[in-house]
Amino acid sequence: MTLVGDVVVLLAAAVLLVSVAAVRWSSRLGVPSLLVYLAIGVLLGESFLGIQFSDAQLARLLGTLALVLIIAEGGLTERWSRMRPVLGLSLSLATIGVLVSVGVVAVCTHYLLGFDWRTSALVGAVISSTDAAAIFSVFRRLRVSPRLKAALESESGINDPVAILLVILLSAPGGEAQWWWVALMIVYELVVGLLIGVLAGALGVWLLRRAALPAAGLYPIAAVGLTVLAYAAGSVVHASGFMAVYVSALVLGNARLPHRQAIMGFADGVAWLAQIGLFIMLGLLVSPPGLPGVLIPALLIGLVLTLVARPLSVLVCATPFRVGWRQQTFLSWAGLRGAVPIVFATIPLAQGTPHAVWIFNVVFVLVVIYTLLQATTLPTAAAWLGVGAPEEATELRVETAPLERMRADLLQLDVPPGSQLAGVHLDELRLPVGAAVTLVLRDGVGFVPGRDTRLKTGDSLLIVTTDEVRDEAERRLRAVSRRGRLARWFGEDGVERGN
């Protein structure tokens, strides 16, 4: 490798490590990590360290790929049991809510800033959808009502198709189409993307359960690869690739897969890497000298979006589902924008659409200011509105190793801090017939437990269970982890739920 190549690798590694370290720093300050990564990109760019990057077409391609990986991680880690009760609300926000936001922003941009209707509608379309990366990142550490959290995460995972279709149509030469044709295209993209996602996910579950891969590390690669395949299949038939990747990941994430926790850990790491690369790249793409001139329009459009368009869309979509005003207010304030609007803004930039540079700069400034404002105040808003959730013990993680020939599973679990499993004797677990704790690892020493063995925090357990009682055994373990030996008396059913 040449000296220049070595320097590039050195710089890339240093940036990556600084970005990883910045996550801890941003978490302490309550600042979304995406803003830190954007700042790193700007510092590396033309106005400071001098790295030149202005290829909007490449930025669009790489940004789309990064969004696919981020959305895939969101689908893999989403629990269907948690998403199902809010599916109607999420779909409404992701479709009708997006259209309402586009309309309100377009009207205000046209009359307040004097732009033509096409440009005004394009601005509305670019900033209309909430961002999965921002939502997932912020809500990892924010305790709110499970229903609100599920609704926001689901909305951010499935609201991109409508917005990106509008952006593409408005960015194309001419930029005009009949409303009925646009409506049909939206329905087609969503429905076909949904079907492709279900088929790809089901096929992936079938293959992963039956494939005897030579190394455990190949299972996570295959799982994430299947979600990317779903995106590509959707895009090839001009359907919504984003819908396909989210649904396929949702199907895979809720199935009983070999090495499931390894798959989740790998997807989480890939999503973090995608976020880091995406935001740094977008920071490189922006030209800082052009930002001060769009500050006022960005603030104005952001105010309209945050205080008018988003609350109105939530009101229209949430009222039929009997969502109270406190919950609606939080849903309105928590509609974070992030990478998605900036990536969408690269589409008109790559197409050479009139006012594309102005739109990109406006969106960049808007995202930075309003993400910082909203994300840092969400804990206060949740507390003030009374929609917070109490702290719970860390969710019990169970890893599955397949034993197809014996029609049995090996369950591996750790007793996490705060779990009510600590202090429980093995005979008090009351596991179903066909399930037994066969090994306990404590302080680095493994031993075969007896009925009177008392579990401790930090213990690792190996449990053998037949295929028929595997789900029942896991539910019982989760129930005891949450409420202790009297879990049934407290009405705890042990159903898996998101954090």
**What is the rounded CA–CA span in Å between residue 71 and residue 267?**
10
> DSSP letter at 438?
E
With a CB cutoff of 8 Å and minimum separation 6, the contacts of 191 are: none
* CATH code of the domain containing 431: 3.30.70.1450
- Picking from 266, 339, 301, 348, the residue whose alpha carbon sits closest to that of residue 41 is 339
DSSP annotation of 393: P
Q: Cβ distance 341 to 127 under 8 Å?
A: yes
Query: Which one of 360, 385, 410 terminates a domain?
Result: 385
Q: Are 312 and 329 in contact (CB under 8 A)?
A: no
- Is 494 inside any structural domain? no
In a domain, 175, yes or no: yes
Q: Are 279 and 409 part of one and the same domain?
A: no
The dihedral region occupied by 261, where left means phi > 0, alpha psi between -120 and 50, and beta the remainder, is alpha
pLDDT of residue 499: 43
Same domain (yes/no): 424, 303? no
Give the Cα separation of 485 and 420 in Å (integer). Answer: 8
364 and 411 both lie in a single domain? no
Q: Tokens for 416?
A: 């996490």
Please tell me whether residues 321 and 457 are part of one structural domain. no
As a residue count, the chain comes to 499
User: Which of 168, 167, 139, 171 is CA-nearest to residue 155?
Assistant: 139
Which residue, 385, 415, 441, sits at the end of a domain? 385
- Tokens of residue 363, six digits: 């969106």
Burial class of residue 179, CB neighbours in 10 A (0-12, 13-18, 19+): exposed
Q: Is residue 141 part of a domain?
A: yes
Q: How far apart are CA 39 and CA 471, in angstroms?
A: 46
**Inside any domain, residue 190:** yes
Q: What residues does 463 pair with on adjacent strands?
A: 411, 437
Do residue 247 and residue 333 come from a single domain? yes
Of 353, 385, 417, the residue at which a domain comes to its end is 385
pLDDT at 177: 59
The span from the CA of 11 to the CA of 13, in Å, is: 5
- Is residue 498 assigned to a domain? no
Largest interatomic CA distance in the chain: 78
Q: What is the pTM of this model?
A: 0.73
In a domain, 499, yes or no: no
| Block mean pLDDT (10 aa), the chain, length 499 | 70 79 66 77 80 82 87 84 86 91 94 90 91 75 82 82 82 67 80 92 89 79 92 89 90 86 86 86 85 92 94 94 91 86 87 88 90 86 83 55 66 87 88 90 89 90 88 88 80 63
d(CA 107, CA 109): 6
Q: Please tell me the predicted confidence (pLDDT) of residue 203.
A: 93
Q: Looking at the 3D structure of the chain, how many domains does it have? A: 2
80 shares a domain with 30: yes
Based on the domain organization, do 250 and 317 belong to the same domain? yes
Q: Are residues 139 and 62 in the same domain?
A: yes
Q: How many other CB atoms are found less than 10 A from the CB of residue 419?
A: 25
For residue 170, what pLDDT is reported?
85
Do 227 and 281 have their domain in common?
yes
Q: What is the DSSP letter of 425?
A: B
If we measure between CA atoms, which residue out of 129, 151, 141, 144 comes closest to residue 367? 129
Q: Terminal CA-to-CA distance of the chain, rounded, Å? A: 46
Q: Is residue 361 part of a domain?
A: yes
SS3 128: coil
Domain membership of residue 491 (yes or no) is: no
Residue 38 sits at the vertex; the CA angle it makes with 62 and 32, to the nearest 5 degrees, is 110
Q: For the sheet containing 460-466, what is the strand order?
A: 398-403, 408-414, 460-466, 435-442, 445-447
Full domain range(s) for residue 432: 398-486
449/415 Cα distance (integer angstroms): 15
Kindly report the CATH number assigned to the domain that includes residue 34: 1.20.1530.20
Residues 99 and 207 in one domain: yes
CA distance 492 to 488: 6
Instruction: Report the alpha-carbon distance of residue 415 to residue 456 in Å, rounded.
Output: 7
Whether the Cβ atoms of residue 253 and residue 76 lie closer than 8 Å to each other: yes
Q: Quick one: 404 and 343 in the same domain?
A: no
304 and 450 belong to one structural domain: no
